[in-house]
Each structure stands twice: as structure tokens, then as C-alpha cells.
Amino acid sequence: MEKKWSEWLEQIKSHSKFPNKNQLLLIFLCGLLLLVIVWPVSDGREEPDSGTTEAGLSGGANDPGKGRTEMDSGRQGAYAESVEAYEEYLEQRLSSALEYVEGVGRAEVVITLKSSGQRIVEKDQSSSSQASSEEDQNGGTRETQNRSSDKTSVYTQGSDGSQTPYISKELTPEIEGVLVIAEGGENAVVIQNITEAIQALFGVEAHKIKIMKRTDT
């Protein structure tokens, strides 16, 4: 179609060296029509900005449910990291100590925790009681006593003015089981010594302790 318009324009030019007003108007309209034909047409829909969408989803502003889910998963991730770090700390301490025991040799230790540690917050407890008596319709006296108690957490104030709960007691995580793989793990005396040492350190029952011989392949 564009070729036909070009041929038509050439014919108009050939009839007159200087086109008149009508011819100029016709040429202008033809050019305008060609511009409309080749101009890209938008469907009116705007593509969402990927950066804004991702930020909204990650923050949970557009989807409160997803925001709560990511918050919960974040807490679970922090909990898992703290438990794993404590397990590794105990494993390194125990393996280093056992290697100094006669007959144990090189040792690898695996410890699993049953639960995380617990921090107990100090609380102020207040109680009050109130007694009252009233006379009933038969001339008797009825006494009632109301008691109430309230507990509030104790906070400590930092230098920046922030308040944090006062921890009165901190309980270490409970150990679920202990595995020791040692070079002397086949010796009955070594097994007994390792078992008694673990029981003395962690208070773990004997059936939750497993001693095995280490072999280098």
C-alpha cells in the first residue's frame, strides 16, 4: 500500500512543477495517513515494574498473608541457625576433650538437641484481697471474699532509653542423643569411659549414647 501512495505522489508531482494548494493539502493528508498506519498502537495496558512488585511481595504490603508467612519462616530460620551453632559448639568441645583420654584416639562427635534453650523473664507479682459481708432476707449474714493477683514483667533500661526484659534464669537446650565415632570405639573400657563422661557432662541416659569405632577409608 505504501508503494501505491508513493506512485500516486510521483504522478501528482509530474503534472506540475509547483503544486497548488489542493495538491499540497492532498500530499499532507497522504503523509498523515501513512504516519497513522506505521505508528505503533498500544493496547493501553502497562507492564508492572518488576522492582516495585518484588519489593511489595517481599515486604508483604500487598499480601498480608504472605508477609506473615515470610516473617514466620524468618523466625524459624533464625531458630534453626542458633540450634545448629550450639550443637557444633558442644560437638567441638566434646571431641577435643575425648581425644585426650587414653585409648580414644581421634574422635568425631554428633549431637542432636531436643529443644532450644529457654529464658525466664523476671516478673513482679502483686495480689490483693477484699472481704465483704451482707445480710440476707432471713436475717443471716453472708460473707464473700475476692482475691486477685497480677504479674508484670520486669524491664531494664539501656543507655539509649530502650527497655529489655530482665532475664532471671536461662535454661540450656536439652540434648536428645550423642554419637561418638572414635578410633578406640571397639574397646569396652573406652566405651564405658566415654559413656560415663557424656552422662556426667550432659545428664543423658545411657541408651541415648552410641559409641562406634572409627575407620579411615
Per-residue pLDDT reduced to its tens digit, 20-78: 556 666 666 666 666 666 555 544 444 444 443 343 333 444 444 444 444 444 444 44
Note whether 188 and 109 are same-domain residues.
yes
pTM of the model as a whole: 0.46
Q: 158 and 203, same structural domain?
A: no
Counted domains in the chain = 3
Nearby residues of 55 by Cβ (< 8 Å), 6 or more positions away: none
Taking phi first (over 0 means left), then psi (-120 to 50 degrees means alpha), and beta for anything else, what does residue 203 get?
A: left
Domain that holds residue 23: 2-32
| Positions in the chain short of pLDDT 50 | 16-18, 42-79
First and final CA of the chain: distance in angstroms? 81
Specify the pLDDT at position 100.
92
Residues 63 and 111 in one domain: yes
The SS3 assignment for 102 reads: coil
Same domain, 8 and 103: no
| Whether residue 113 is found in the same domain as residue 123 | no
Using a 10 angstrom Cβ sphere, with 0-12 exposed, 13-18 middle and 19 or more buried, the burial of residue 190 is buried
pLDDT at residue 145, rounded to an integer: 78
CA distances from 78 to 89, 100, 134, 166 (A): 17, 34, 59, 22
pLDDT at 26: 67
Tell the burial category of 47 from Cβ atoms under 10 Å away from its Cβ (0-12, 13-18, 19+): exposed
Q: Which three cell numbers stand for residue 47?
A: 507492564
* Beta bridge partner(s), residue 112: 177
